[in-house]
Amino acid sequence: MTVSTTARRPRVPNARPAPVTPAEVKAAAAELFAVRGYRGTTMRHIAAALGIQAPGLYNHVGSKQEILADIMVGVMTELLEEQRAAVASTTDVVEQVRRIVESHVRYHCRHQRATFVGNREIPSLDEPARSLVIAQRDEFEQTFRSVISRGVAEGRFAVGSARLASYAILEMGMGIAGWYREGGELSESQVAYEYGEMALRILRVPAG
C-alpha cells in the first residue's frame, strides 16, 4: 500500500464560503454583547459566530472596542435621524410627541440587540466614542423635552416637569429591547400605538 506524503490541509471549523460583511460583524457582535456582555465577549467568540477564524476578523475590524463604538454611535445616529423626521413631519405638538414615541418604539422593536447594548454598555466605551454617544443621547432627550415644553406653553400638556416626563417616556420605550418578541402577543404596530397613547396620557391636559 502506498502512503501519500502530501499533507492534508487542516479543516477549518465553522468555515463559511462567502465573505463576511460589516453588517454581519455588527449583528453577530451585538447578539454576543447582549447575551454575554461586552467584557465577557472576545474576538474569538465573534469570529466563531461568523464562521471564520479569529485572525480573519481583523481583516474587517481593528478591535472589539471599534465594533462596540460602531454599534452604539450607529444606533444613536439613526435614532436622531428618525426623531428629526418625526418632528419635521407635523407642526402639531401632540402629533409630534406621538410620532417621536412611535418611531422610538419601532426602532427598539426592530433593533433589540443593538439598542439593548447601546443602553447598557456606555461604561465600556473608550473616549472619544463615549463622549460622542453621551452627547447624542443628550441631544435626543433635549429635543424631546423641548417638544413637551412647547406643548406645556401652548396649554396642550399639563406636567410639572418636562424633564421628568421626558425621562419617564423615553425610559419606557428603551425597556422594549428587553422583552419584545416578533410574532408575540402584540405586533410592532400595536406596541408603538399603545406606547404613543400612554405617552399622551402622561402629558395631555385632562378633559374639562
Residue-wise pLDDT tens digits, 53-110? 888 888 888 999 999 999 999 999 999 999 999 999 999 999 999 999 999 999 999 9
Contacts made by residues 200-204, CB under 8 angstroms, sequence distance 24+: 200/94, 200/97, 200/98, 202/159, 202/165, 202/168, 202/169, 203/97, 203/148, 203/151, 203/157, 203/158, 203/159, 203/165, 203/169, 204/94, 204/156, 204/157, 204/158
Task: Round the average pLDDT of the chain to a whole number and report it.
Answer: 90
CA distances from 156 to 89, 149, 176, 186, 202 (A): 19, 10, 27, 30, 12
Which residue segments constitute the domains of the chain, with CATH numbers given? 12-62 (1.10.10.60), 64-203 (1.10.357.10)
Residues 126-144 have a mean pLDDT of 98
User: Which residues sit opposite 157 in a β-bridge?
Assistant: 204
**In the predicted structure, residue 13 carries a pLDDT above the cut 80:** no
DSSP H helical ranges for 111-181: 112-120, 129-153, 162-174
Q: How many CA atoms lie within 13 A of 146 on its CB side?
A: 9
Residues 4-26 have a mean pLDDT of 61
What's residue 55's pLDDT? 85
By the 8 A CB rule, do 97 and 103 touch? no
| Confidence category of residue 149, pLDDT binned at 50, 70, 90 | very high
Which among 115, 81, 101 is positioned nearest to 144, based on CA atoms?
101
By the 8 A CB rule, do 204 and 154 touch? no
Report d(CA 188, CA 101) in Å as an integer.
13
Q: What is the pTM of this model?
A: 0.86
CA distances from 194 to 2, 158, 197 (A): 75, 20, 5
By the 8 A CB rule, do 29 and 67 touch? yes
DSSP conformational letter for 124 = G
